[in-house]
Amino acid sequence: MQISWTSDVWLALLLPFAITFFGWRYSSSLSFPRTWSELRDLVSLKSLDPSESGPFSLDRARNAYARYRHLSVAEASILQGAYSRTSRAHKRIGYTLGYPAKLSKLAEVTNANGRITDAIARLAERQFDIDLPPRGGTSMDLMRVRESLKHFIRDWSSDGLREREKIFTPILDVLRMVDVDDRAGKRVLVPGSGLGRLAWEISELGFMETTANELSFFMILAFRFLLDPTTTSTVDEHAIHPYAHWFSHQRSSESLFRSIQFPDVVPRLSPRFKLVEEDFLTLRPPPAPSPALSQIAGYDYIVTLFFIDTSLNVLTTLEQIYALLRPGGTWINLGPLLWTSGGQAKLELSLDEVLHAVEELGFIIDPREDGQRSSTVECEYTGDPQAMMRWIYRAEFWVAHKPK
């Protein structure tokens, strides 16, 4: 019989291999998607859906924090099952190595982390008047919770200082060049602010108003946990085990399960430091601080850190940055170009193309002393400094302004 090699036939042949590949690729991270919906969610990891049922919604995030222990225990049972299927001789060696004790330690630190995630969920229930019991949760939701826990360390611990300094310093140096007396009349917006440390640092420089803007409730709920005095009142009040769920590339179990305290400072919202919880693309320019002086509405500075590549349409994002700036306003950017894959991003541009688009949309890129439009900053993002592997970004930094 002759086979007609149609696209459907090719799909039928390739789909099992694709599923097998995803299983192999993510099993070592303890986050293997076990259903088709979870696999689809993996491909849509950076999809910006702010709707009630979207991957970054309040409902999704609260459920995931509330069910962190349950979901983590379910994953740990897979590890336990894999070990139980080894031969008697290998079990004996594993016992000598302390592997059963290692799995028990995983359960212990998961419970410790769970005290934090439970507190985050309870605060969300109180602040947003949620009375429904938590339900559901996928491996991708669990991954997002764990990433948020790592952001506590990156943004708000002394252990994260080195990583923060690498990427914050170029941005803060530009803002420090603003005359101190002039700062009191200028507004700064930080979209995609995550857990808000960069925005908080900027607010400490004395600008009239610094606004942290975030869409993901996985980040928002964690940040609210730090901002609320009923859950965080003192320096280093909390401790988590941020790297416990990633067994690969670890030098020792002590390093794997180590506890890190946070926060190194206690942030609070104020008239100078605000949080806006909505999609960046829906924001409108703030009113002029002094209409009597015929000032124009908008922000004086917009700071984007690891942000523009999260756009499904980067041109729309660039247009919004331009629209929100006052004439003469400044845009400061630092980050990579890790576009959303799977054809979701409408454009996947190179650095040259992005910079060209920036100019096409009306920005004037401020040249560096060497005449280049941007500079490279090698950096990490929520990295584990004690691990055997490092993921280094060669992020680009540039400053541009909107003509007056």
- Helices 139-156 and 58-66 cross at an angle (nearest 10°) of 90
pLDDT at 371 over 90: no
- Dihedral (CA of 322, 221, 31, 251) sign: positive
Block residue for tokens 């965080």: 232
* Cα distances (angstroms) measured from residue 90 to each of 85, 323, 368: 10, 63, 60
Residue type, 89: A
Dist CA 304 CA 320 (whole Å)? 12
pLDDT at 44 over 90: no
Dist CA 299 CA 202 (whole Å)? 14
Mean pLDDT estimate for the chain: 89
Domains and CATH numbers, the chain: 159-401 (3.40.50.150)
- pLDDT category of residue 50 using cuts at 50, 70 and 90: very low
Which one-letter DSSP state was computed for residue 383? -
* Cα distances (angstroms) measured from residue 301 to each of 77, 122, 288, 380: 49, 35, 14, 25
pLDDT average, residue stretch 247-266: 98
Q: How many residues does the chain have?
A: 404
DSSP string, 182-218: HHTT-EEEEES-TTSHHHHHHHTTT-SEEEEE---HH
Bridge-partner residues for 190, per DSSP? Answer: 212
pLDDT in tens, 285-307: 998 876 655 578 899 999 999 99
pLDDT in tens, 191-249: 999 999 999 999 999 999 999 999 999 999 999 999 999 999 999 999 999 999 999 99
How many CA within 13 A on the CB side of residue 128?
18
Bridge-partner residues for 238, per DSSP? Answer: 262
Helix, strand and coil percent figures for the chain, each rounded to 5: 45, 15, 40
Residue 304: φ, ψ to 5°: -115, 120
Block residue for tokens 């700071």: 303
pLDDT average, residue stretch 38-44: 33
Dist CA 380 CA 360 (whole Å)? 31
Block residue for tokens 């222990």: 69
At CA 144, angle to CA 143 and CA 147, rounded to 5?
Answer: 90
Bridge-partner residues for 333, per DSSP? Answer: 304, 398
Other C-beta atoms within 10 Å of 310: how many?
Answer: 22
Closest listed residue to residue 398, CA positions, set 371, 370, 369, 366: 366
Q: Identify the pLDDT of residue 234.
A: 98
Q: Identify the pLDDT of residue 207.
A: 98
Report whether 122 contacts 37 (CB < 8 A).
no
Rg of the chain over all Cα atoms, to the nearest angstrom: 23
- pLDDT category of residue 27 using cuts at 50, 70 and 90: very low
Structure pTM?
0.85
